[in-house]
Amino acid sequence: MTLPAQYAWLARETAPKMLVAALSLYGTLETAGAKNNPQILAWADEVGKAYPTAYNKWAADFYEHDSIPWCGLGMAIAATRAGREPVASYLSALAWANGGAGWVKVPVADAMLGDILVFKRTGGGHVAMYVGEDNTHFHMLGANQDDAFNIRRKPKAQCVGVIRPAYINRPANVRKVRLAAAGTLSQNEA
């Protein structure tokens, strides 16, 4: 994993588990054209096997092309690999704002490292993980951001929800992270 210099510090973070799991996916790319990245396609099966709900079984059958928006799938596989059940209907980015068992809703202004950010966008939503913020934008680690698992910036004004794992013992490094107002803006999450 080679993170941009501005985010190199993330490689030294040892918690929360979901952040560490998501960082291991950094650089995963959607395959252009009619072909698909088999790694991305396998994620829905992995989630379905770990948490065999009716929805997760349906999602595993449904998810056959990496051209299907995969931001919710990216957060679901990071949660699964961290030992945490993703939210119900996880393929829908906006469903993450509802939280659910094992998740706590927090005010947008209180977002911290490792929290899940939910955004409204034209045509739907987007979900990614907080890694920091500047005065006007959240810096987010997520999937299907310009067809890759990467770090991008998105306006705070578009954020419609924040959820946090219901920690038994919150990791000491879960904190606000102030970053320079630099970095690539997310242009496409569809």
Q: Where are the domains of the chain?
A: 7-165
State yes or no: pLDDT of 190 exceeds 80: no
Percentage above 70 pLDDT, the chain: 99
pLDDT at 1: 64
pTM above 0.85, yes or no: yes
Q: Tell me, what DSSP letter sits at residue 91?
A: T
Residue 118 pairs in a beta bridge with: 127, 161
pLDDT at 122: 87
> pLDDT for 14-56, tens place per residue?
999 999 999 999 999 999 988 999 999 999 999 999 999 999 9
Rounded to the nearest integer, the mean pLDDT of the chain is 96
Q: Measure the CA–CA gap between 114 and 126, rounded to whole angstroms.
A: 16
Q: Which CATH number fits domain 7-165: 3.40.50.700, 3.50.50.60, 3.90.1720.10, 1.10.3720.10?
A: 3.90.1720.10
Q: How many CB atoms lie within 10 A of CB 29?
A: 14
> pLDDT for 77-113, tens place per residue?
999 999 999 999 999 999 999 999 999 999 999 999 9
Percentage above 90 pLDDT, the chain: 91
Q: CB burial class (10 A; 0-12, 13-18, 19+) of residue 46? A: middle
